[in-house]
Structure 1
Amino acid sequence: MTQQDARPAQTGRQRRGRRAFSDGMAAERLAIADLQARGWRVLLHRARTRWGEVDIVALRAGCLMFAEIKARPSLLAAGEAIRPSQVARIMNAAQFLCAANPDWAYDSIRFDVGAVLPGNVVEWIPDAFRQY
C-alpha cells in the first residue's frame, strides 16, 4: 500500500473548496499586479485580523485603500457578492489594521471591490462601501 492509497478520497465539496481557494489566490495576484501598474504600493496581502481578512491593503498619493477581490463573470456579479455582514467585517478589520500600523501615512481611506472577470480582466468599483 502506498502513501497515496492511505489518504481518503476527496469529496466533491473539498475539490470545489480547493478550486475556489486557488481561483481566489490567482485573482488576488492579478489584482495586485493591476494595482502596482496603476501606481499603488501594496502594503498587505491577505491581512488577517480577529474580525476577518482584508484581501489587499494599498497606498497611493495619501489614499489608503482596502480592497475585496472577487473572481466573477461580471462586474455586477462581483458587486452583488459583497453582503452587508462582509462589509462590516472588512471595516472592522480595517480599523484594527490602521490602529496596529500607526506608521501608515494617509489622508483618506476608501474601500474598493476588485472584480477579476473572464479573460483575466481586472475592473474596479472604487469607494464601493460608501453607501453603508
Structure 2
Amino acid sequence: MSGLFSRIKGLAAERAACDFLKGAGFCILEKNFRSRFGEIDIVAREGDTLVFVEVKARSSSGYGSAFEAVDRRKQQKILRTALFYISRNLLDDPYLRFDVISVNANGQCFHIPDAFGPEE
C-alpha cells in the first residue's frame, strides 16, 4: 500500500510543479517522458530553452533536500533520457537546462533552476 501512496503523492507533486511552471511562463511539452534510459518528470520550454525537470515530493527535511536526492546516478539517467528525447524529436542543438523542483507537504514548490548540467 505504501507504493501506491508514494505514487499518488508523486503525481500530486508533479501536478503542483506543472502549475508552478505554467504560472512562471513555462510551456509544458511532456509529463513523465520515459525511455529505456529512465524517466523525466517534466519536459518544458522557457523561451528558447528546453528544460528537463525532476520533481521531488518532500514531507519533511528528514530525508534530505530534493537536490540531495538527485544524486550523480540519477543525473546521468536524466541526461541520457534527455539526449534520447532530443534525438527522438529531431531537435537541432537546443539550449538545455536541468532543473529540480521540490514540493513540500503543503504543495509549495521550491524551484532550483540549472540544478546540474552535463558536465556534473
Same fold (TM over 0.5): yes
User: Highest CA radius of gyration, 1 or 2?
Assistant: 1
> SS in structure 1 opposite 2:111?
strand
- 1:56 partnered with 2:42: yes
1:25 alignment counterpart: 11
2:2 alignment counterpart: 16
Distance 1:39 1:105 in 2: 23
Structure 1: gaps spanning 5 or more residues = 1-14
Structure 2: gaps spanning 5 or more residues = none
Distance 1:85 1:55 in 2: 16
Which of 102, 110, 119 is the aligned partner of 1:123? Answer: 110
| Residues 1:113 and 1:78: Cα distance change in structure 2 (over 3 Å) | same
Matched residue type, 2:75 = V
Matched residue type, 2:23 = A
Equivalence map 1:20-99=2 (5 Å) = 20-72=6-58, 73-74=60-61, 77-99=65-87
> SS in structure 2 opposite 1:127?
strand
Q: Hey, which bits of structure 1, 4+ residues long, moved more than 3 A?
A: 104-107
Map Cα deviations across residues 55-111 of structure 1 (whole Å, 9 max, x no partner).
00000210110000001135x611111121110000000000001112x57741000
1:114 alignment counterpart: 101
Matched residue type, 1:100 = R
Structure with the bigger percentage of strand: 2
Q: CA RMSD, aligned part only?
A: 1.6
Distance 1:105 1:50 in 2: 22
